[in-house]
Amino acid sequence: MRVVLTSWGSRGDIEPLAALAAELRARGARVVVCAPPDEDFVALLDRVGVPLVPLGPTVKSIVANPKPPTGQDAFKLAPALVEARFETLAAVAAEGCDAVLATGLMPAGARDVAEKLGVPYVLACFHVMGLPSRHFRPGRRPGTPSPADETDYEVLWKQDAERVDALYGAAVNRGRAALGLPPVDGVRDHVFTQRPWLAADPVLCPSAGMTELDPVQTGAWILPDTRPLPADLRAFLDGGEPPVYVGFGSMAAYAPEGVARAAVEAARAHGRRVVLGSGWAGLGAVDDGDDCFVVGEVNQQALFRRSAVVVHHGGAGTTTTAARAGAPQVVVPLIADQPYWASRIAELGVGVAHPGPAPTVASLTAALAAALDPGVRARAEAVAATVRTDGAAVAAGLLLDLAGRPRP
């Protein structure tokens, strides 16, 4: 059995695929992952013994710039990624393929290659916010914006589909024509299918009634991390009360200016030390104080269990890791699904949704005061006990079942 997994996106898109790949390999399947060739992602897949087949440009080359990508950049990147998927996935799948699973930034092209081969295709997502719904409006997408006074969700989601067609439609249908397939109308719904998989914890991200589609919720795909913390970090942790962790992951161009200094000063206001996760945002020490420790790539599962509060951007993976560790959270949402995770953490009472993407010393001091309340810690620990850890195993079983079914 040979399975092709593909994604183009940040660490939060690639690490779940590594978790799924590990589960598939444990069940005897051969796995290939087609993903952006960032060094971090190659190393991540090396940990589970799965090769990375390069797909498109590195993500860091797109997002790790002084300014966020523009709409014009998006209209260049979208068709380029579609063409890369047709070319790369067709070449990989030509060597034998029993199923294709795609995730990440609108993976247009993956379903079409699977269709040509006559093998099952699955679209997986890590939250519900991108799926058509009667309960919330679509997120921002490059292209013609909806009128500011439009409030009808059905109309707004129709306009979202039109923006997807403008970004991806021509490239998808060129690729389909090259494969001898008829054109498709409505790229977004074609990519999503009626039954996407939702790789998110049901307590953190309930799906019942939230979307017009019928998602299969597997639970989050969590890659176990047994790496020991570096000796110098362990010494820092052992040298006092649990610190406040601050990190913004892959949010290089979006991380608020001066956030490291604001976070350090806010933590000091509460007598707390700080661990700064440098990440792609390049957070670093703000002075020579011995109450601040900077880390790069590290086992967050272990580190968060030793943190008083986790301050982060609200990516699905970081939110789930912190929740599983029982650590109170302060979420500073910047883009995409992050406002959802911020609001969800607040609703569950396991942390604080920071008001807006530009924290100050005062705003972070207030947020930390709330997050450090013993009642929040107690609720965070209670929720941690409910977070499922078998999501990748569930998904692996479902995918292999699909792949093993007789084909027309």
Question: pLDDT (tens digit, 9 = 90+) per residue, 308-317?
Answer: 999 999 999 9
For the segment 61-87, the average pLDDT, to the nearest whole number, is: 90
Ranges 213-217, 237-241, 250-254: which has the least confidence = 250-254
For the segment 103-126, the average pLDDT, to the nearest whole number, is: 97
Residue 319: which pLDDT band, with cuts at 50, 70 and 90? very high
Residue 353: which residues within 8 A CB-CB, separation 6 or more? 331, 333, 339, 342, 343, 345, 346
Nearest to 333 by CA among 359, 309, 310, 307: 359
Q: Is 279 left (phi over 0), alpha (psi -120 to 50) or beta?
A: left
CA distance 275 to 298: 11
Residue 100: which residues within 8 A CB-CB, separation 6 or more? 3, 4, 5, 6, 89, 93, 110, 111, 113, 114, 117, 119, 120, 121, 122
pLDDT digits (tens, 9 = 90+) for 161-188: 999 999 999 999 999 999 999 999 999 9
Residue 245: which pLDDT band, with cuts at 50, 70 and 90? very high
Question: Is residue 253 scored above 70 in pLDDT?
Answer: no
DSSP 167: I
Nearest to 354 by CA among 246, 200, 202: 246
Ranges 221-225, 356-360, 381-385, 392-396: which has the least confidence = 356-360
Question: Is residue 251 scored above 80 in pLDDT?
Answer: no
Q: Is 195 left (phi over 0), alpha (psi -120 to 50) or beta?
A: beta
DSSP 166: I
Are β-strands 99-104 and 2-8 bridged in parallel, bridged antiparallel, or unpaired? parallel
Helix or strand or coil: residue 93?
A: helix
Tokens of residue 280, six digits? 């792609």
The predicted model scores a pTM of 0.95
Q: What is the mean pLDDT of the chain?
A: 95
For the segment 211-216, the average pLDDT, to the nearest whole number, is: 96
Domains and CATH numbers, the chain: 2-222+389-404 (3.40.50.2000), 231-384 (3.40.50.2000)
Give the torsion sign (CA, 96, 101, 107, 111): positive
The pLDDT, as a whole number, for residue 280 is 84
Residue 20's identity, in one-letter code, is L
pLDDT digits (tens, 9 = 90+) for 124-166: 999 999 999 999 999 999 999 999 999 999 999 999 999 999 9
Residue 252: which pLDDT band, with cuts at 50, 70 and 90? low
Question: CB-hemisphere CA count at 13 Å for 347?
Answer: 10
With the CA atoms of 361, 367, 372 and 378 taken in that order, what torsion angle do they form, in degrees rounded to the nearest 10? Answer: -160
Question: Is residue 65 scored above 90 in pLDDT?
Answer: no
Question: Is residue 277 scored above 90 in pLDDT?
Answer: yes
Ranges 92-96, 272-276, 369-373: which has the least confidence = 92-96
Question: Is residue 267 scored above 90 in pLDDT?
Answer: yes
Contact (Cβ atoms closer than 8 angstroms) between residue 400 and residue 27: yes
CA distance 306 to 244: 9
